[in-house]
Amino acid sequence: MSDLLADVRARAAVFRQTIMRPPWALRMASGAPLTLATMLRGHAWVVPDQHEPVLIGVGDIAVVRGDVPYTVADDPATTPSLVVTSADYCPGADSIEPARTCGTPADGAAVLLSGAFERRGELSERLLHALPAVLVVPAEDSPSSSVEMVAEEIARDRPGQQMVLDRLLDLMLVSALRSWFDEPGTNAPAWCRALDDPVVGPALRLLHDTPVHPWTVADLANKVGVSRAALARRFTALVGEPPMAYLTSWRIALAADLLRETDHTVGTIARKVGYANAFALSVAFKRLRGTRPSDHRNAEPAQWRAG
């Protein structure tokens, strides 16, 4: 989990408190790679395309991936009245001071609090691919103190407000994911669950910590004190793929992050993640991602744009 969250760092995160009177529905198309939402009053349905609607109540935290177009509404059947983009985040013309609050207070109105990581570099691809389309952490398991601090912070303008909100968004995400990972029976990635296994767990940590090492299954098995066949069989059963296939996908995920986050050459990145040269990395990258490393670096991250 520490590996997944190491790169989480919001910068100029977008936060809004939205006051809505029923019936209401917002089609979310901001393009943000990850959005967190919670209700301060009332309830809402998160309705992702091609997935079941998910209900969130007061204090629940929904973590929504940006590659999944979705609607937020008072009822799954309500037709969206507005498409919310990054240029038009407030739902409608009405807004009250401060600017982070949209809508007019009224009896019976729902109050939705949302925060978005707008830059893909703030989150590693490994984290984004590990998450379900919509993750909901119930109020009893969610960091209520963080939600309350955000609500208080956006209620009035204060010096250094953006930095405080950025760090609070980081805290909300990390706390929500900790609760999700700790929940028995959670649908966390197989390799995350396998970290607790006495054989596969140490093998995974070796691969994570030193991907540059020229690992073989025999070498890995020797390190964790089991036979090659036993490790291969147990690793595949728990993780869902053989050790070397997993190592390849891990190296490519690391390379993908480095391509977007640094200006290192492809050759330098190749050596950092365990490949002899740029050609070897390019072959593996193209096989797993369908594109070359240089194209990945230069491409607009359309896969995380909702619409």
- Domains of the chain are 2-182 (2.60.120.280), 191-304 (1.10.10.60)
What is the band of 93 on the pLDDT scale with cuts at 50, 70, 90? very low
Mean per-residue pLDDT, 56-63: 89
Look at residue 133 in the predicted model and tell me its pLDDT. Answer: 83
Q: What does the mean pLDDT of the chain come to?
A: 80
Rounded Cα–Cα distance for residues 133 and 256 (Å):
21
Question: If we measure between CA atoms, which residue out of 161, 154, 167, 172 comes closest to residue 96?
Answer: 154
Mean per-residue pLDDT, 213-238: 95
Rounded Cα–Cα distance for residues 8 and 173 (Å):
9
Q: Is the pLDDT of residue 269 over 90?
A: yes
Q: Is the pLDDT of residue 101 over 70?
A: no
What is the band of 49 on the pLDDT scale with cuts at 50, 70, 90? confident
Least confident of 35-39, 47-51, 299-303: 299-303
Rounded Cα–Cα distance for residues 173 and 187 (Å):
17
The pLDDT tens digits for 114-125 are: 887 766 554 566
* Amino acid (one-letter) located at 237: A
Look at residue 193 in the predicted model and tell me its pLDDT. Answer: 76
Q: Which residues contact 141 (CB under 8 A, 6 or more apart)?
A: 179, 183
